[in-house]
A and B are shown apart, each in its own frame.
Chain A
Amino acid sequence: MTEKGQTSIGTEERVLMCGNEALAEAAILAGCDAYFGYPITPQNEIPAYMSRRMPEEGRVFVQSESELAAINMVFGASATGKRAMTSSSSPGISLMQEGISYLAGAELPAVVVNVMRGGPGLGNIAPSQSDYFQATRGGGHGDYRTIVFGPSSVQEMADCMSLAFELADKYRMTAMILADGFLGQMMEPVVLKKRPSPELPPKDWALTGAKDREQNIVRSLWLGEGVLEDLNFKLDDKYKQIQKNEVLCEQYEVDDAEIIVVAYGIAARIVSGAVTRAREEGIKVGWIRPVTLWPFPTEQISKAADEFRLFLTVEMSTGQMVEDVKLAVAGKAPVVFYGRPGGGVPTVDEILDKIRQLTIRHKTQDSRLKTQDKR
């Protein structure tokens, strides 16, 4: 898709776009000043789109020599107060971790898109969700976090973008869109509209030339005794604020559910298909979909675990988010896992089968518990 559709952007009209391009256009609508990136499948539509659209808007596009350079170009542009982003896929994101850590240390805003593919190593180019740990735990060295969105549709890919730029500026840190090859390549109707921006703190820390003021310094090196410790505590306070204020999560038919399926991204779409069919079979099942993966909807899941239920986590990995689900459930209910790693995409039938099996298990355990209660 190249020339078409541009007239519809910024209106209520639906355009058919792939996730990668919708996200790129949404970044432009969100006021992204500069894009820096390096080719890697399955996100090549993003730099290609940006190479055409950013100059049209009088903004900056640079194809860097590597992902290392790309993230450091983001670092430089962001330090001057500009909205900057990069995108890549899993192996490239590994290379960017150095820069992401420096961004955290220097408290610079940035938006990073990871259109995940199978790993480890070169892996393959099929969709995967195996970078969850890397994304939600910081990813590089040091004690830090990044805000992570796990969109599950082309529309949400676009919607996350303006929110990512906003939160990155608000908290002066990296916001990451954790998508996958499926979402990047898939086309769906999308409405691309400029979102009104809330008031954000002024970037008085930015490097703009020390004209008629004292010098500004952007740094992540703190050698004085206790200084870095203070910074780490300050960052931690910020992260706690984010955990309190910025969690996004979607729930479906959870109230009467005996089984709750937790999934994010494209896996959540497949889960929702399976849950609908299970409901048609009379199985009491619902789902919880974290939209922000960090901050994680710990409270929402913990609350759901207060009543006796079974939790099923479905991921396109051998089990990463399931650890956060277990931490949230905190032993109050059993948590089981179903995963397809290495580019495998679960089918509705597979998940439906899993749900059916759990129904049997839930009934036996539930009746056992009831018997115990009577005694």
Chain B
Amino acid sequence: MTANGLYEEIIIAGFGGQGIMLTGKLLAQTAMQAGKEVTYMPSYGAEVRGGTANCMVIISETKIACPVVAKPDSLIVMNKASLNKFGPRLKNHGLLIMNSSLIDTEPQLDETIEIISIPADELAVELGSQKSANMAALGAYLQKRAYLTADQAGQALPNVLAKRYHKTLPLNIKALQCGAEFTKSCCKV
């Protein structure tokens, strides 16, 4: 946050197939529909095939100058390799959303960093498909940061999800809400 209000830099990372790009696009689309300025930058080319995938999202109340995220305010990591790679870049007082289903170690990060450890894969499997683990993680993030809601993301989802996957909309929307609920329950004061 700056004097002008919201300014949030996010990195979302995982391995290919976890829906990392879709998660980033959905976050950007939701923010844009809410009238905010956004940039979204995916990793691209050969590196995304089978390897790690990541994207950078910036959300701001005012025009975004530099779209490059060097040190994110928030980090959503879906596997261990991504935590190892991007964890050290997280800003002090930042937010880490980590998929504890696939990360079995405690992250060694600055103590000012807030950590939400969500078993995203397990939650998604319970709902019906492991594939919506990304949505659960995003739901958890949105609930924590609270500048957008999981419901808003659910409304924006048809705009970023290719039509041939629209039959999965109800499940993904449920996963978004489930992630949000998880944050609510674990972050009760």
Contacts and interface: CB of A to CB of B under 8 A. Distances in A.
Pairing of A with B: yes
Contacts of B158: 4
A276 B65 contact: yes
Contacts of B44: 41-42, 125, 181, 185
A186 B24 CA distance: 11
B66 A3 contact: no
A16 B34 CA distance: 12
Interface in B36-61: 37-42, 44-46
Contact of A272 (B32, B41, B65): B65
Contacts of A185: 41-42, 44
Given A2-B163, A182-B41, A185-B42, A269 B65 contact: yes
B38 A16 contact: yes
Contacts of B25: 1, 16, 187
A348 interface: yes
Given A125-B44, A187-B25, A3 B65 contact: no
A241 interface: no
A186 B66 contact: no
Given A125-B44, A185-B42, A273 B65 contact: yes
Contacts, number: 74
Interface string A183-219: 0011111000000000000000000000000000000
A2 B162 contact: yes
A14 B32 contact: yes
A314 to B, nearest CB: 12
Interface string A1-12: 111110000000
B29 interface: yes
Contacts of A3: 162-163
- Determine chain A's interface SS by DSSP, over half rule: mixed
A270 interface: yes
A186 B70 contact: no
Interface in A255-296: 266, 269-270, 272-274, 276
A347 B70 contact: yes
A345 B67 CA distance: 11
Contacts of A181: 44
B10 interface: no
A160 to B, nearest CB: 18
A349 interface: yes
B32 A186 contact: no
A16 B67 contact: no
Nearest to A14: B32
A338 B40 CA distance: 26
Interface residues of B, number: 24
Interface in B61-110: 64-68, 70
A189 B45 contact: no
Contacts of A189: 32, 37-38
A237 B64 CA distance: 40
A14 B70 CA distance: 27
Contacts of B41: 182, 185-187
A283 B37 CA distance: 27
A3 B68 CA distance: 28
A1 B28 CA distance: 13
B159 interface: yes
Contacts of B64: 188
A41 B32 CA distance: 27
Nearest to B57: A187
B163 to A, nearest CB: 5
A349 B162 CA distance: 38
B6 interface: no
B32 A16 contact: yes
Nearest to A3: B163
Interface string A323-349: 000000000000000000000010111
B70 A187 contact: no
A186 B25 CA distance: 10
Contact of A125 (B28, B39, B45): B45
Given A42-B44, A125-B44, A276-B65, A187 B163 contact: no
A276 B3 CA distance: 13
B125 interface: no
Nearest to B69: A347
A181 B43 CA distance: 10
B40 A272 contact: no
Contacts of A272: 65-66
Contact of A16 (B40, B45, B65, B68): B40
8 contacts: A3-B162, A41-B45, A42-B45, A182-B41, A186-B41, A187-B28, A187-B40, A274-B66
Given A16-B29, A125-B46, 5 more contacts: A14-B32, A186-B39, A269-B67, A345-B68, A347-B70
Interface of B: 25, 28-29, 32, 37-42, 44-46, 64-68, 70, 158-160, 162-163
Interface of A: 1-5, 14, 16, 41-42, 125, 181-182, 185-189, 266, 269-270, 272-274, 276, 345, 347-349
Query: 4 smallest A-B Cβ distances: which pairs?
Result: A273-B66, A273-B65, A187-B40, A125-B45
